[in-house]
Each structure stands twice: as structure tokens, then as C-alpha cells.
Amino acid sequence: MAMSSDTMKIQVEDISSINGTLILPCFEGCEKPPSKTMNEVDRVTRSLIKKILASDDFSGKSEENMSVFGGGNKVILVGLGKKENITTKIARDTGAKLFAKLNKKHGKTLTLRFSSDWKLDSMNAFVEGMILRDYKYDKYLSKNDEDDTDDSPYNLHIQCTPKNVKSLSDLCKESQNIASGVHLARDLGNAPPNDLYPMAYANMAKDWANGKKNVSLTVIDWEGILENKMGGLENVGKGSSRKPCMVIFEINKPAKGKGNPPIIVGKGITFDTGGISLKPGASMDEMKYDMHGSATVFGLMQALHANGHSEHIIGISCMAENMPSANAYRPGDVITTYSGKTIEVLNTDAEGRNVLADGLWKSGEFNPKFIIDLATLTGACVVALGHEASGLWSNNDELLEKIRAMGAEVDELAWPMPLLPAFEKEMTGSKIADVRNLGTSRWGGSNTAAAFLKQFVPKMSDDKDAEQYPWAHLDIAGTAWGASTNATVAHGATGVHVRTLYHLIKNE
């Protein structure tokens, strides 16, 4: 499977000469760019900029931007609103929106010039927005010879005051590597399910790990699933001719002992038809992104590795295709998971929780520091939070707060939701199995799903009263696919939470 297009070439430098189109970010009320810049552009451009800034046409309010085409210069003025109100979100979104408006007439060479009143984190966020938005999913479109679109990468010269050059350059390199992970996750989420099936994901992961000396990759294939009695994965995946697998990424495995790694577990349903509890036809095609939890896991590994992360970290992807067939599991079945706990299957469309039961249990074998799972788990979560925030549940307040705060900081919101004993009681109330995979009513569907998952979170010791490892669950059903309000994503898979988890794990 092809990977995303060539990325932007970036260099950070002192304010020097203008290359290509000049982009000038302006705060509200800015009267005119520094005289150095004004002297560099030609006379026609200079008088145009002056006239525009003096008129009511442009005042630097946020959402304003204007192209100025003078004699020999092309200039884009970009409004960011009041200087004292600038946030990384405003800077990132403005960078992304600006990038979306670039077209052929601006060319592929750009000079982005920040005046001295810009702070490092805002400059970096502005550039990050541009890089994140530099993404197209067009690998299945035939290229036509007459097509004159230029697919070569942009050349971006970022100019700032000399004292910031080194730090901004380091930050932009890091952002570019993080974006490579976000774009990989988006590629995986957008990939058509006929090409991206469980073992195709495993093979991509193997190719990626190949030759990287601090990465080890384990694939538990169909035989391995049967041998290990991973009944969640087995039963969800057995109705498909494309068999399920578990993919384990491990970076910086310690030479001795188990270490104490953070573990990220992803739901990887490469297509969710609902199985025998078949979904209605409308928008079923979108269920190709039901593997976005596993897409985020892979993208996160890529981002951490590319930035030379030196600590131990594990990712576990639970891959299966949920199909109806003569071999499919059925409502009424009782299945035995890897943990030994049994599940009464009441709806085969509640399949994500069944595969995660095995992934969560597996993480207990690695002495985890904490476990975070990501899953496009429930339509009910989309009803609750729309496309604006992922649902966040946890058995540990400190972990919950870390994820919430980091999500808010990088603008990938994660909203705390209740893990109530009543929901657990509902899900453990089956008369014939340890856990049921469906609530007793449709109310609170994302909460009952989280309460189900909690039954499979491993404990710190074999003692029956032992505490569970710190665990958090992110329901990304609403956030993993094109939200119209997300400036960094035009449409399709979003790569959500690669950035949140990257920064969270880096800060550990």
C-alpha cells in the first residue's frame, strides 16, 4: 500500500531574502510590516500592502487573509486576531486554513516570515497546522497526463528573529515527524477495506519495523490466536475469509526484565458490517475506519520512533474483519476470551469490545505503567459528544486528568465520562456467562461499553483483591472521521490522538 505524498521541505532561517510567495501573519491592528520587509518587496507591492492595511479591507482579525499581488511579489497577509488572545489552537488552525487556500498561483516556494513579537510555541503551532493540512488521499485516482497539478512538495522557508532560529528549527522537525505519524494513521483509516485487511496491516507493520534496530514486532496470526485461546479475536474474525490477528509493536525493549512500559491498545476492525446482527446499508462504507484505534497505534509508533524516543513503549492492535457468513459467530453464542472470562454475545455488532477484551488482557503480561485503549466503539458516543470530543473513561483519576489536559493542549479534546458501578453491574448481569456484550437497554451505550472493557483490565497481581493497572479508554467513534470543524483535516480519517499520546508519552 502506498504511503502519503512527499512532505514539505522546511528550513528555518534568519529574516533574509524572500523566496517565492511571502506569507505575513499579522495580529489585529498591525499597521504595517517591519520596514525591512517593506523595503524588500517591490514598489507596487509595498504601496498595495500599505493601502490594504490602511483601509477597512484587512485589519488582522482572525479568519481574515488576503493575497496581494504586486509587480514582482506575491504576498499573503494572514489575520490572527488580537495578539494578547493568541493560543496554539488559533495559530495551528490559522496555519491549516491558510494552507488549504494555497493554489497554483502561489507556487511551491513560500517564505513564512514571523515578526519579533511571535512566541516560539505559536510559531511552531502555525507551522504544524500547515504541515498537518498538507495531506491528500489520492492514491486510488488514475493520474492523467494532461493533468497539470504539481504534486511536488512545497519548499517552506520559515523566517524569524535570529535568537529563535535553532529552537524553532528543532520544534518544526519534531512537528514534521509527528505529522508523519498522523498522516500514516490517516492513510490507514482511509484505506479501502479490500486492500487493508488484518494481515495486510500486520505485513505493513512488519515492513515498517524491518531494519529498525530498536523496534520488535510480533504478529499473533490465526494459528496463534487458536493456540492462545484468544476467543474474542477468534470469534469476531472467524466469519471472514481474511483471518484476524494481534499485532504487537515494541520499541526500546529493555535487554533485561520486562520494563514498565506505557501500553496503547487499538481496536482494528478493518471492516464492520455488524456481522449476523447486520448494519443497515446507509453509510456502511464508512465502517472501513473502524480500525482507527489501530491506525492511531501505528501512527504513534511512527511518530515516537521518528523523533528518536528512547523509552520503552508497547502498542497492541487487535485486528479482525466483522462479516456475516456460515462461519460467523452469532447472537446467543457464549465465547471464552483470552482472560478465561466468558461473554454472552447478544449482538455481533458489539464486536469491538470482544476483540479489545483479548488485547487488554494481553497487556497484563508486560508489567504496564498504564494502559490506554482507543476504539471507534459506539454510535452512542457520537450521540453524546458529536464530532467535537472523544469520550474518556478511566479507573484512575490521575491518568484521566493527564489525558484530558494533554488533549486540550493539542486540541484533540477528550471528555471525561462516567465509569459507574451501575453500568458494570448491568454488563456482568448475564445469567449464563461472566459478561454480556450488550446493555439491558440502549441508554448510556458508550458507558456500558466502557464498563464492559473494565472487566478485562488486568490486575497488578494474581491476588483476587489486587488492584487493576491504571487504564483509560478513549471512544473515538465521533472524532476519528472528518469533523467539519477540524481545520487540520479536510475530510476522511483524522489521525486523532496521535499528537495527544505522543506528547503524553514523551512527558512520562
Q: What is the largest CA-CA distance in the chain?
A: 83
Q: What is the dihedral of CA 470, 476, 477, 481, to 10 degrees?
A: -160
188 residue type, one letter? L
Q: How far is the CB of 380 from Zn ion (least distance, A)?
A: 12
Binding site for ligand BES (CB under 6 A): 272, 290, 347, 349-352, 376-380, 382, 438, 445, 477
Query: According to the binding rule CB under 5 A, does residue 321 interact with Mg ion?
Result: no
Residue 347 interacting partner from Zn ion, Mg ion, ligand BES, none (CB closer than 5 to 8 Å by kind): ligand BES
Q: Which residue has the cell 506569507?
A: 23
**H or E stretch at 436:** strand 435-436
Which of 123, 269, 403, 414 is the binder for Zn ion (CB under 5 A)?
269
Nearer to Mg ion among residue 368 and residue 445 (C-beta): 445
Q: Name the binder of 107 from ligand BES, Mg ion, Zn ion, none, CB < 5-8 A by kind.
A: none
What minimum distance in Å lies between the beta carbon of 422 and Mg ion?
24
Please give the full DSSP string across 289-310, using - where no structure is assigned.
GGGHHHHHHHHHHHHHHHTT--
Binding mask 346-365 for Zn ion (x = CB under 5 A): ------x-------------
Site string for Zn ion, 289-328 (x = CB under 5 A): -x--------------------------------------
Catalytically annotated residues: 279, 353
Pairing assessment for the beta strands 262-272 and 370-375 based on DSSP bridges: parallel
CA distance 277 to 331: 7
Asked if 272 and 279 count as a contact pair (C-beta separation under 8 A), the reply is yes
Shortest reach from residue 274's CB to Mg ion, in Å: 5
Give CA–CA dist 334/269, Å, rounded.
20
- The piece of 31-39, 347-355, 383-391, 439-447 that touches Mg ion (CB under 5 A) is 347-355
C-alpha cell at 473: 479508554
Stretch that binds Zn ion, among 58-66, 111-119, 264-272, 408-416 (CB under 5 A): 264-272
Rounded to whole angstroms, what are the CA distances from 59 to 48, 52, 242, 287, 408?
Answer: 14, 9, 57, 44, 29
Size of the site for Mg ion (CB under 5 A): 3
The Cα–Cα gap between 391 and 417 comes to 6
Choose the stretch contacting Zn ion; rule: CB under 5 A; options: 147-155, 254-262, 344-352, 484-492. Answer: 344-352
Residue 481 sits at φ, ψ, to 5 deg, of -130, 135
Bridge partner residues of 319 (DSSP): 245, 268
**Binding residue (CB under 5 A) for Mg ion from 128, 272, 358, 373:** 272
Q: Which does 339 bind (CB under 5 to 8 A by kind): Zn ion, Mg ion, ligand BES, none?
A: none
Judged by beta carbon, residue 95 or residue 352, the one nearer Mg ion is 352
Q: Which residues bind to Zn ion, rule: CB under 5 A?
A: 269, 272, 290, 352
